[in-house]
């Protein structure tokens, strides 16, 4: 069953702690993305990666970090430097690499992070 898997679905964190959100895809897509979704706002791009071992900052990268050691995996770390980390985080992938958006984005089911 092909698709994108995010984990955990729900996560609680104390202030000052780093947390890592997992994103795995078996669609053989080259490009992967992390978005943040807040109520009443559109999706905001945190980081994206078009190829293994390479990634680029999006619009709101401060306080976040990523890695792309394998084509299938693109984990996101929310660091203690992120001032307002409580949000819904969506991972996505797409087939194309010639531009960062060349077609359909396939999303995971999301991870809801709450900072206590």
Please report whether residue 2 would count as binding another protein according to CB under 8 A.
no
Nearest approach, Cβ of 99 to another protein (angstroms)?
A: 6
CA distances from 114 to 1, 53, 73, 80, 92 (A): 30, 29, 23, 13, 21
The C-alpha atoms of residue 33 and residue 80 are separated, in whole angstroms, by 21
Question: How many residues sit close enough to another protein to count as binding (CB under 8 A)?
Answer: 17
Q: Nearer Cβ to another protein, position 35 or 72?
A: 35
Give the integer Cα–Cα distance in Å for 21 and 66. Answer: 10
CA gap 9, 110 in Å, rounded: 6
The answer to whether 12 contacts another protein (rule: CB under 8 A) is no
Q: Which two tokens stand for residue 41?
A: 């706002």
Q: Is 62 in the site for another protein (CB under 8 A)?
A: no
Is residue 89 near another protein by the rule CB under 8 A?
A: no
Find how far residue 42's CA is from the centre of its chain. Answer: 15
Per CB under 8 A, the list member of 41, 54, 84, 116 interacting with another protein is 41
Considering the rule CB under 8 A, would residue 101 count as an interface residue with another protein? yes
Residues that bind another protein (CB under 8 A): 40-45, 58, 90, 99-101, 104-105, 107-110
């Amino acid at each position: 069953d092909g698709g994108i898997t995010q984990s955990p679905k729900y996560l609680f964190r104390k202030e000052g702690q780093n947390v890592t959100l997992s994103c795995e895809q078996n669609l053989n897509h080259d490009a992967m993305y992390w978005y943040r979704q807040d109520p009443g706002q559109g999706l905001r791009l945190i980081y994206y990666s078009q190829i293994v071992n390479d990634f680029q900052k999006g619009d709101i990268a401060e306080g976040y970090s990523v890695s792309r050691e394998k084509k299938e995996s693109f984990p996101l770390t929310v660091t203690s430097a992120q001032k307002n980390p409580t949000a819904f985080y969506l991972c996505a992938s797409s087939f194309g690499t010639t531009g960062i958006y060349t077609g359909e984005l396939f999303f995971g089911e999301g991870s809801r992070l709450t900072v206590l």
